[in-house]
Amino acid sequence: MFIQSENKVISSIQLLDEYRNNKQQSYEKTRIPFTGVSERDIYNITAPFEDDGELVIAGRVEKRDSEHSEVMFFINRDGHWVQRENSPVFQLQDPFFTKIGDELILGGVEIFPHPTLPDALSWRTAFYRGKNIASLEKFFEGPDGMKDIRLVELKDGSIGIFTRPQGEKGGRGKIGFTKVKTLKELTANVIDDAPLLNQFSDDEWGGANEIHLLPNGLLGVLGHIARFDDEGNRHYYSMVFALDPENGNSSDLQIIAERSDFLDGPTKRPDLVDVVFSGGIVRKPDGTAELYAGISDADAQKLIIPDPFKPFEQ
């Protein structure tokens, strides 16, 4: 496993070629059977996590022709994931979670009217904290216009922060990393000032989706890399890399899944057919992992793959 101070910028097309050439195992693929949300789609889900003694999945729920979504919580009942009774519903997109200390941290993307462009939307990442889902309360909002902010508790108890600015600093979207000692030091300025990792070309973009603290202190990052083709269609791939939080050095990106690895299914729009949005990974003792992902902005599936973080621990 190679952690380096300066990364090579490798295009998603080249990474995809490497992935296809090296893939040897047939993957088990499954659609997550959600029920009880009428005629709405559930996608961009989290991996299951424990809350008050039962496994819960948070998912983005919305109509096919809308961007106005809700984040709901689902539990498994007789093989189907149903909405958990008496759980809160948040006006968010693309949920994620982590644990810091003894608290659950839940986040997602808030949309709101753009301050200067009529009939347009802007967005920001909102964070909630509590002992459990029922007690979650908002405690922080990231800078306007930034998605894919992620937090992780490091080995020494400090907080690692992954960012993804766009525009003058980040172009179409690049990953940054910084640290604070406690959540009290988390500010929009700290996020804005995070140094960028050298990972994406200017015509591509990516973000961190879920962070795993590995036993050796490195961070295993599950994320996505994306591009447009000449017709304006979007292509999103699930990827991983490792980062050393002591010096900010990281490994090269590796694609771990593409759309064709999953079952055929619906799509929100024709330009979103080739989209895998990484949700979360559950690592298994047998060296495999369950990858939970949003598919084509209309579906949620699970893929069994070799544990992509295991090489980073060796």
Does 2 have pLDDT greater than 80?
no
Cα gap 104→46, rounded to integer Å: 14
| Residue in 43, 102, 32, 104 with CA at minimum distance from that of residue 72 | 43
Stated pTM of the model: 0.95
Structure tokens at 110: 């808030």
Please determine, for residue 27, whether its predicted confidence score (pLDDT) is greater than 90: no
CA angle 103/208/204 to nearest 5° reads 165
Of residues 1 and 205, the one with the higher pLDDT is 205
| Rounded Cα–Cα distance for residues 260 and 258 (Å) | 6
204 burial class (0-12, 13-18, 19+ CB within 10 angstroms)? Answer: buried
Output the pLDDT for position 187.
Answer: 97
Name the pLDDT band for 11 (thresholds 50, 70, 90). very high
Average model confidence (pLDDT) across the chain: 95
- pLDDT exceeds cutoff 90 at 118: no
Domain ranges across the chain: 12-313
CATH homologous superfamily of 12-313 equals Glycosyl hydrolase domain; family 43 (2.115.10.20)
- Which range is least confidently modeled, 115-119, 260-264, 283-287? 115-119
Instruction: List pLDDT tens digits, range 65-90.
Output: 998 899 999 999 999 999 999 999 99
The neighbour count for residue 209, using CB atoms within 10 Å, is 26
Q: Give per-residue pLDDT as tens, 193-223.
A: 999 998 999 999 999 999 999 999 999 999 9
Q: State both tokens at 291.
A: 């990858």
